[in-house]
Chain A
């Protein structure tokens, strides 16, 4: 009951934050002087192509770019009727990409959920690797297990991701017949979801997951190891041993539970850093994720496209933090019962 109330409360604060973020995003993408259209108009006029200028002027009116900034924002969000009535983000109209001359929704299309899939896979990978290794490294600290895992971890942190990607592609293809590049076989692109397509995506996911996840996993592993070592020195661990618990059970029941909190709290931080950090990887691996799109949009001042992508990343982050907050409340009675009468 308490939990549900907290989740609802947390959801509304998230919406509020998202609103603030949207205003920030809009202001920031409008900060550089000029916009895509005025740049284009200037260029066209310089080369004397008046037909193009007319089209650009038309688009300017069409997307209310001639209005004051705050009105543009309200129209973009869908709080205020634009030239075509209420038609903004909350109504599901993501706007028009000037660079690609197509609606934003068409351009991002598949990349949205593919981004989610790739990042989710990477997060799962990070946790699946970091959890056992971190605990093991702490339990066997200052032994060869600890040193080996630390060494491999630092290698993972230090190797540039794109290099790792290239190496993995080469050897993966050579020895395991793992396909190179992309997130699915090209023949499935634009096709509706099918069993075959899902299978193809899964196989294509292996290398990107590994590449994007390695550095995160090794960082998290070291963090968990340090937390665990702190906890292992605490008296309650001794109490558990004095009860006659076996080491493995003791480790997972007591110190891990306590060391788990920062681990969970990291979910929210992982997502945005992976989205923005994996741009280069996505380019090298030819992944249809949102990273490269964002890069192009930002470079060409394609405001609606970049605005939408930034909003999407912000949403991912906020959802991640919300999930980790709710999980923390579930896991830690000290947070849950704060203020409960004793």
Chain B
């Protein structure tokens, strides 16, 4: 069989610099899925863009040949004129991008943007185009295609936008679809559904797929062929089952080892200790009022948190897991005193073992300053949480200045010391953040949080913007620091595998409610709640024999009204948390 797309000896470079992609070759067979795996900067994205010739203006293809199509009439994409290339784009090869939030124009209706593909490649009237698009919308799972057609992107959720992107890429029935990290920006349950959808559509139309990803779990679920890239070169290539079962190249092995996985050992975890609690949240609720802006319409109440009870023992890690909008970040903000809870809720903090607890939201000014020294935060996005105009030294010593600690020489020495402790060099103090990679920046964020020698650190998805191998390093760092400094972590994440590794107790949140809570081992071995089950099922695992169970995902990831009788809740009727075994609580009717 002749390949549909054949890339041979492709090299791409920016300006005069060394090539970023060098000697890359691979074939894609009709109807097959090829996964391009690698970390950011490995050149996988730029290789894909070279196929469509949508490279940044300063990048050029230095050598190589890209051919596409059948044996009778092959198109040499690398030599095609720009005019003829336009006929290929969107019609015969289409592409799905990583960020569904930003990959659609905010000012044009979804329907207009999708049906445009059909007008552009001619041969179709406007009415026909609309009909085709509506059919496609129905196919990708829009509950009301007509309404989606007339919506603007900002009116849809991330998952729905990615569905619209898929519809846009599929509507012209291309021979080849290139999906560049199509699910990285999505929640894990949404990811599972989107991957399932792409697979179904592929089976239906017989198109080939190039899937760019850094997640070996996604590869195991989707791909027949795998190409592993590192620093612009192909490290290993071959059938998926061979590579996943027996990775030969050390780099592939390294990727495997770095990928966190949910354990499936038959163990029962120990519940969180009840004494020496550093943080206690008692029936914390938070209701936001969204003003309708019009006098005659009632304001909408949003229950971000409903009756949340947490305890965090000193030196332990409590993880809050949930999709975006589940209230996990709100809970953390309340814990830090950044926002007051609704009346009735209370947050207690004990700075030292046996110390008198202070109520976080009724502190005096002095207490607050002391509390802020004790409790620090590490943010999700290491790119925007460091000021680009401050040297590392200034960013690190600023907390000390604010609290008036030490002389400037002492502050500098401490900054150098902490920097070494997070695995960076003291001579980096004079640099600006732009000189650091994503992982290094996250180390800097952690260093900044460590400067005041806190006892509690709130980590808001600290690794979700990072590659797997970097994520692994950051998690190790967090674990080391916890041990050496008796730190307590409140760890927020949507990634169960990460949580499984670092947490002592996990709380799963959905729509502002904790639906299940327990030690990770118990929770992952014996999940009770359909939503927890869905989260676990949706986690793609790098094992080709254990594909995602989409049925389980669909069962739990839907709205709470669709859960089975025992777990169902509505706004007016909410079951309470029931303790099934010591430390394992589930929200259900008994």
Question: What is A's interface to B at a CB cutoff of 8 Å?
Answer: 234-236, 238-246, 253-254, 257-258, 331-334, 337-340, 342
A142 to chain B, nearest CB (A): 9
B94 and chain A: residue at smallest CB distance: A242
Contact of A338 among B52, B104, B106, B293 (CB under 8 A): B293
B154 interfacial by beta-carbon distance below 8 Å:
yes
Which A residues are CB-close (under 8 A) to B94? 242-243
- CB contact under 8 A between A242 and B95, given known A334-B154, A337-B152: yes
Question: Nearest chain B CB to A331's CB is how many angstroms away?
Answer: 8
Known: A258-B105, A340-B155. A239 touches B97 (CB 8 A): yes
Q: Flag if B90 contacts A242 (CB, 8 Å).
A: yes
Distance between Cα atoms of A38 and B190 in the complex (Å): 79
Say yes or no for B102: interface residue by CB 8 A criterion: yes
A240–B54 alpha-carbon span in the complex (Å): 11
Contacts of A332 in B (CB 8 A): 107
Chain B hits for A243, CB < 8 A: 89-90, 94, 116-117, 120, 168
Contact of A333 among B99, B152, B165 (CB under 8 A): B152
B292 within 8 A of A: yes
Binding site for A on B (CB under 8 A): 52, 54, 86-91, 94-95, 97-99, 102-109, 116-117, 120-121, 152, 154-156, 165, 168, 292-294
What are the 6 tightest A-B residue pairs by CB atom distance, in nearest-first order?
A244-B90, A244-B89, A243-B90, A235-B103, A242-B95, A236-B105
Give the chain A neighbours of B104 by CB distance below 8 A: 236, 239
A257 touches B107 (CB 8 A): yes
Q: Is B292 within 8 A of A342, CB to CB?
A: no
B102 shortest CB reach to chain A, Å: 5
Q: Which residues of A contact B168 (CB under 8 A)?
A: 239, 243
Q: Which residues of B contact A334 (CB under 8 A)?
A: 106-107, 152, 154
Say yes or no: A254 contacts B105, CB within 8 Å. yes
B54 interface neighbour in A234, A238, A338, Cβ under 8 Å = A238
**CA gap between A257 and B105 in the complex, in Å:** 9
Q: A334-B154, A338-B293 are in contact. Are A242 and B107 (CB under 8 A)?
A: no
Which of B91, B97, B107, B165 is A258 in contact with, Cβ under 8 Å?
A: B107
Q: Which residues of A contact B116 (CB under 8 A)?
A: 243, 245
Question: CA separation between A236 and B97, bound complex, in Å?
Answer: 9
Q: Which residue in chain A gives the minimum CB-CB distance to B154?
A: A334
Give the shortest distance, in Å, between A96 (CB) and chain B (any CB).
46
Which residue of chain B lies nearest to A233 when distances are taken between CB atoms in the complex? B56
18 A-B residue pairs with Cβ-Cβ distance under 8 Å, sorted by A, are A234-B102, A235-B97, A235-B99, A235-B102, A235-B103, A239-B104, A239-B168, A241-B54, A242-B52, A242-B89, A242-B94, A243-B94, A243-B120, A244-B91, A253-B108, A334-B107, A337-B155, A342-B156
In Å, the complex CA distance between A332 and B154 comes to 12
- Within the assembled complex, what's the spacing in Å between the Cα atoms of A337 and B155? 9
List residues of chain A with CB within 8 A of the CB of B156.
342
> Which residues from chain B contact A254 at a C-beta distance below 8 Å?
105, 108
**Chain B residues whose C-beta falls within 8 Å of the C-beta of A234 in the assembled complex:** 102
B92 — nearest CB in chain A belongs to which residue?
Answer: A244
> Which chain A residue has the least Cβ–Cβ distance from B151?
A342
Contact A236 B102 (CB under 8 A): yes
With A244-B86, A246-B86, A337-B155: A239-B103 Cβ-Cβ less than 8 Å: yes
Other A-B contacts than A246-B86, A253-B108, A334-B106, 17 sampled, CB-CB below 8 A, are A235-B99, A236-B103, A239-B103, A241-B54, A242-B52, A242-B97, A243-B89, A243-B120, A244-B88, A244-B120, A254-B108, A257-B105, A257-B107, A257-B108, A258-B106, A258-B107, A331-B107
